[in-house]
Amino acid sequence: MKDWKNVWILAEVNHGRLSPTAYELLNAGRKLADDLGEKLCAVLLGSGVKTWAQDLFEHGADVVYVCDAAPLAQYVDDVYAKTLAAMIAQYKPNKFLLPATNLGRSLSAKTAIFAGTGLTADATEVVIHKEDGQLHATRPTFGGNLMATITCARTRPEMCSLRPMAYAKAARVSGRTGEVVEFPFDAAKYTSLAQFIRFIKSQGEGLDLSEAEVIVAGGRGLGKPEGFALLEKLAQRLGGAVGASRAPVDSGWIEYRRQIGLTGRTVKPKLYIACGISGQIQHMAGCSGADVLVAINKDPQAPIMKMAHYALEGDLYEVIPAMLEQLG
């Protein structure tokens, strides 16, 4: 166990863009590395990705491991996972955090198998246990009814995929530098039976919740699925996205991917407008990180009215049109 050192994070690059989760993992990983007295290292996999190394140093990485090769231009599970497992075997990291994005969930599971270690998937909090230095990863379980803290006592690295937006982004320190370590890609070893053919972007999905600085979310108080059209108008006017509590998702008024909360997405927008949402703990778990929370509710006693920075008492079908009129 003593040979395994340092905290790694995967800096996901998707279609040429560094995922914002890289900064969140650097923030979470920095604390783990400092508590252990070890280095924080980021891993870049792909083609043309080395260019992101300086950005990672400025957000807290001490070392950046780069495997930059043309065959990694498109994401293929096995190829990426075998490459990562080979890097793990060579450099022996102690802890390894990956983002619980679509790519990260798939890659972390396969990598853990190839590396012969354990993985806690979709964690919301990671800490170092003071006595034994183990990674304690906490995640909701049994549909969010329990929080489970999971450890991986006998194998290294202790791997964990961390839910996007569970942590704030690391602060930037301009000019901070570190060490780049290049890892050669071996096309004969890192193979797959699967082949990348083409990438098809889904149409008409609107702004993703994770990218939106403004979210207008609707709850059961909308009363009908058509209510979301009104929210869409307000969201569009503010350049934001539409979200939902679980109630309208369960009623089939809106897709699950719009659900915010313990069993949905965690969001951290600048402005969150909750319309006809009562503010149950499971919903607030996904949106309490918003900079400004506005609640529109008929009931002044609804829990969200006490938590909101601005509580607007009234019927959302009167308040939202009035807001739209003001916005012009």
Residues in contact with ligand FAD by the rule CB under 6 A: 143-145, 219-221, 245-247, 259, 261-264, 276-278, 280, 282-283, 286, 296-299, 302, 315-317
Sign (positive or negative) of CA dihedral 177, 105, 125, 133: negative
Choose between 143 and 184: whose C-beta lies nearer to ligand FAD. Answer: 143
Nearer to ligand FAD, 47 or 280 (CB): 280
Least distance (Å) between residue 281 CB and ligand FAD: 7
d(CA 104, CA 19): 11
Nearer to ligand FAD, 6 or 245 (CB): 245
Cβ of residue 323: shortest distance to ligand FAD, in angstroms? 13
Q: Are 67 and 45 in contact (CB under 8 A)?
A: yes
CA distances in angstroms from 272 to 186, 246, 275, 295, 300, listed in the order given: 47, 16, 10, 8, 18
Q: How far is the CB of 241 from ligand FAD (least distance, A)?
A: 16
**Minimum distance from residue 276 beta carbon to ligand FAD (Å):** 4
Q: Which is nearer to ligand FAD, 143 or 252 (CB)?
A: 143
Tokens representing residue 101 in the block: 């994005």
Q: What single DSSP character describes residue 144?
A: G
Please give the Cα distance from 86 to 81 (Å, whole number).
Answer: 9
Residue with tokens 């927008």: 269
Q: Are 88 and 115 contacting, i.e. CB atoms less than 8 angstroms apart? A: yes
Give the length of the chain.
Answer: 328
Q: How far is the CB of 89 from ligand FAD (least distance, A)?
A: 38
Rounded to whole angstroms, how far apart are CA atoms 5 and 33? 10
CB of 233 to ligand FAD, least distance (A): 16
For ligand FAD, give the closer residue by CB, 76 or 294: 294
Nearer to ligand FAD, 117 or 266 (CB): 266
